[in-house]
Amino acid sequence: MATRRTGIVLLGGAVILALVAFFLSQSYVSSAALSANPPKQPVAVASDDIPVGTLVTPAMAQSAAMSVPPELYKVVYLPPGEAVKGVAVRTIKKGEPILAGDLLPAESANSIAPLVPLKTKSGTATADVVGGLNLPLNRLVAAPPAVRPHDHIDLWAGGVGPNQPSLQLVLEDVEILAYNGDAAAPNGFDVAVTVEQLDRYLFFSNQGAPLIITVRSSQAPPK
């Protein structure tokens, strides 16, 4: 009798294990199927080109249906809406997904540190960057032309004395990293500078020289 009871218990246990194994296998198959054919989800994509350094807002994104693995949705691929907010660390082309890794916290808009490169071109050579320099536009004697992040500019200084040349080049071919203030009406441009460039800028700035910004042509031949 005991042997029969033991056999029934063992048979029942085997049935339970078989059921557990069946449900686990079904779960694995379902998970594998999802990975192979992920469902379409509403994903935030750029409504227009977004330059690096731009403070991205939900209004700059639109919804597009994309096949995204569930484990990556809302972690890597952002849904349209309030999650789309932060400072772009790369240029995001129109129609490209806006990924979580593309955006720094929105508070970074108050700091250009993440955008300052370690090196920059100085003439024909590459030199170490000493830091980001803000060019306050209220120091200019003429309104600056319209520019965007990544545009290259020259900064000129007018003469401050009778024996000084009428115009001297202060910063040559420097790249705009970001705007200071509203992009539509900025109060300054942030640029990456070398030690020599900073020293030259401070010299003319301390002299009270009038400053002028010119924009380089994007079609200019490389040096």
Tens-place pLDDT, residues 110-163? 677 777 888 887 667 788 888 888 888 888 888 888 888 888 899 999 876 666
Q: Which residues contact 127 (CB under 8 A, 6 or more apart)?
A: 119, 120, 121, 194, 195, 196
Q: Which domain holds residue 152?
A: 113-215
Q: Look at residue 157 and tell me if it is in a domain.
A: yes
Does the CA dihedral 29-30-33-35 come out positive or negative? negative
For residues 131 and 99, membership in a common domain is answered with no
For residues 69 and 144, membership in a common domain is answered with no
For residues 119 and 106, membership in a common domain is answered with no
Q: What percent of the chain has pLDDT over 70?
A: 73
Structure token pair of residue 132 = 């980001």
Tens-place pLDDT, residues 11-42? 444 444 444 444 444 444 344 444 567 788 89
- CB count in 10 Å sphere of residue 20: 10
For residues 117 and 203, membership in a common domain is answered with yes
Q: Look at residue 35 and tell me if it is in a domain.
A: no
pTM score, two decimals?
A: 0.51
For residues 166 and 100, membership in a common domain is answered with no
Domain count, the chain: 2
- 110, 134, 152 - which closes a domain: 110
For residues 210 and 124, membership in a common domain is answered with yes
For residues 119 and 195, membership in a common domain is answered with yes
- 110, 139, 169 - which closes a domain: 110
